[in-house]
Amino acid sequence: MGPEVALPLGLVIGYLLGSIPFGLILTRLAGTPDLRSIGSGNIGATNVLRTGRKGLAAATLVLDALKGTAAVIIAGYLGGPEAAMLAGLGAFLGHLFPVWLKFRGGKGVAVYIGILIGLFWPAAVLFCAIWLATAVLTRYSSLSALIASVITPLFLLLLGHSALALLSAVLTLLLLYMHRANIQRLRTGTEGKIGQRS
């Protein structure tokens, strides 16, 4: 398969997989209120946790991560490393801006981790370790994600993975944009903490 087919195909595969709103699907199947009317209105695992359903939150986290991993692996198999990285970008964009939900999706943390698992798993381990350490210290999910996402591209660059570092930097910029309201609440001390219900 030539790059003129493989690269756009990777992007499309990634977007379609990334746009599956697992948090919304699982909470609806469980009979909880519409996830978009709870807490931050986000469809990700942190907001699912605000429903009090820890199992659903864990399942959302895992499935959101796996759709990023699956996109990378499938596209990589079909079109090679460049297609895999484009699929990662597509999965991230699909999660953030799913066509099925009028382009209003999640914030991308779990998908980011899943993409890293598929492309270079040590970076995913680093991301998770930084997230966990920050979360334990602060109980702020958003701050944990922001710190981990900023450090990850630097880690990849130091290891010589320049193309992956560039992709990671793009994902980080998108993640920062999606967390702009969280950043403002962190500055004012009004950001919700992990496990806190609305």
Alpha carbons within 13 angstroms on the beta-carbon side of residue 90 total 25
Domain boundaries, the chain: 3-188
- What would the pLDDT profile of 80-128 be if each residue is shown by its tens digit? 999 999 999 999 999 999 999 989 899 999 999 999 999 999 999 999 9
Rounded to the nearest integer, the mean pLDDT of the chain is: 91
Question: Residue 156 has which token pair?
Answer: 């990849």
Question: Residue 119 has which token pair?
Answer: 């492309």
d(CA 181, CA 75): 33
CB within 8 Å of 68: residues ≥ 6 apart: 17, 18, 88, 91, 92, 95, 110, 111, 112, 113, 114, 115, 117, 118
pTM (2 decimals)?
0.92
Lowest mean pLDDT segment, chosen from 33-37, 116-120, 129-133: 33-37
CA distances (Å), 46 to each of 42, 76, 90, 150, 170, in order? 8, 30, 22, 20, 22
What proportion of the chain, given as a percentage, has pLDDT over 90?
Answer: 71
- What would the pLDDT profile of 144-160 be if each residue is shown by its tens digit? 999 999 999 999 999 99
